[in-house]
Amino acid sequence: MSELASIQQTIDEEKVKLVEMARAIYNNPEVGGQEFFALDLITTYLEDKGFKVWRGIGGLKTAFMASYGGEGFHIGYCSEYDALPEIGHGCGHNLIGISGVAAGVALAASLGDMPGRVSIIGTPNEEDEGGKVVLVNSGVFDDVDAAMMFHPGCSTSIHVESLACRDYRFIFHGRSVHASTDPWEGRNALDGVIQTFNSINAMRQHLKDDVRIHGIVSEGGLAPNIIPDRAAADFIIRARDSRYLGEVIEKVVACARGAAIATGTSLEVTESGFPYEAMVSNRVMADLFAESLRETGYALDSPHDEGMDSIDMGNVSRVTPSIRPMVAITDQWVPGHTRKFSMLCDSEEAYNIMLTVGQAMAITGHKILKDIELQKRIKQEFSAVASDRI
């Protein structure tokens, strides 16, 4: 039997169980850090398939690594399984999780005597804290030679990049007084916030096109007749290039400092959340995936490049060659993180795409493991491109 037929056969044999697991995760949505049901379900299945499993890796209780094979090039499939509060699987991580499992199991079954290691890496808490950032910082990806995952969407894009991203909080401290009787004695912290927004808006015309700055007033005072002595704004700042992002952040912080001077308030600046790096999609791997997806019979017509959001896979792409294609589960435009999108993630069409993508990722992995020249090209591109973008 050919290698591709063997991969197809494993997917066919495991199809019922794989869809059952994706459906079970859909019906038991767990928010980031609490995905114990999904962890148990997936790792028990993988142990049953002969994988060696390590749970709670990288300091994250619901993360895992499941490996098959031995020495040689190490392929890692990232599996997400966290849900959104209230909405459940409105980002389709039930599909991501099991497509990675399908790919890993099918590639493992096709290995034969070929050297190489196949892993499924359980990367929890993507929505809330970017679990992959923690796992990358803990060295979990250090011995992974190529990493892959897919994300369901409304269109198909093979070469997906993303923006580096930082979260900032500006807290202004002023002086409260009666807003009508002695306003001249007050220092209005809310004015500090408003002035910050105005200065950032004035700065936008001088920024490069890929920069995104978006904020909210998170604290704006207690009542209109009290001059606020405390106000705060939360901003997310993004750009394609991490170095340029650093420059933009300095400018944004300067806007807040200027606002504090202008309003006679004092400013506290804190960085919150984990820094997301921009995704660098490996072209050699992305082209291989596109070719493999076509080999499954999927009609892939002229996919476009994409990537104006921020994803924790970006951090993975800085330490190992990576791809994170988006594959459509609908031909309608349905916004992500909504109940409507969640419903799509439990459809027959979505589960078929999950299996097709799992098969294509397994074929991609197989092609890489059997071709040392391909392995070299993947690593050469990574060294040339990823290191240049840090």
* Min dist. Cβ of residue 179 to Zn ion (A): 42
Site for Zn ion in 51-110 (CB under 5 A): 91
By beta-carbon proximity to Zn ion, the closer residue of 14 and 312 is 312
Show the tokens assigned to 363.
């074929």
By beta-carbon proximity to Zn ion, the closer residue of 249 and 350 is 350
* Min dist. Cβ of residue 311 to Zn ion (A): 8
By beta-carbon proximity to Zn ion, the closer residue of 91 and 233 is 91
By beta-carbon proximity to Zn ion, the closer residue of 117 and 151 is 151
Question: Site size for Zn ion, by CB under 5 A?
Answer: 1
Contacts for 14-19: CB closer than 8 Å, 24+ residues apart: 14/102, 14/105, 14/106, 15/355, 17/45, 18/98, 18/101, 18/102, 18/354, 18/355, 18/358, 19/98, 19/351, 19/354, 19/355
74-79 and 151-153 strand pairing: unpaired
Closest CA to 174 of 265, 46, 91, 98: 265
* Min dist. Cβ of residue 32 to Zn ion (A): 10
Show the tokens assigned to 289.
């995936």
Residue recorded with tokens 């030679």: 145
Contact 138, 57 (CB under 8 A): yes
By beta-carbon proximity to Zn ion, the closer residue of 11 and 91 is 91
By beta-carbon proximity to Zn ion, the closer residue of 316 and 363 is 316
CA 49 to chain centre: 27
Show the tokens assigned to 29.
């949505």
* Min dist. Cβ of residue 307 to Zn ion (A): 14
Q: How far apart are CA 38 and CA 26, in angstroms?
A: 10
By beta-carbon proximity to Zn ion, the closer residue of 151 and 240 is 151
* Min dist. Cβ of residue 149 to Zn ion (A): 10
- Nearest residue by C-beta to Zn ion? 91
Show the tokens assigned to 126.
């993507």
By beta-carbon proximity to Zn ion, the closer residue of 91 and 386 is 91
The answer to whether 344 contacts Zn ion (rule: CB under 5 A) is: no
* Min dist. Cβ of residue 317 to Zn ion (A): 16
Residues found near Zn ion in the complex (CB under 5 A): 91
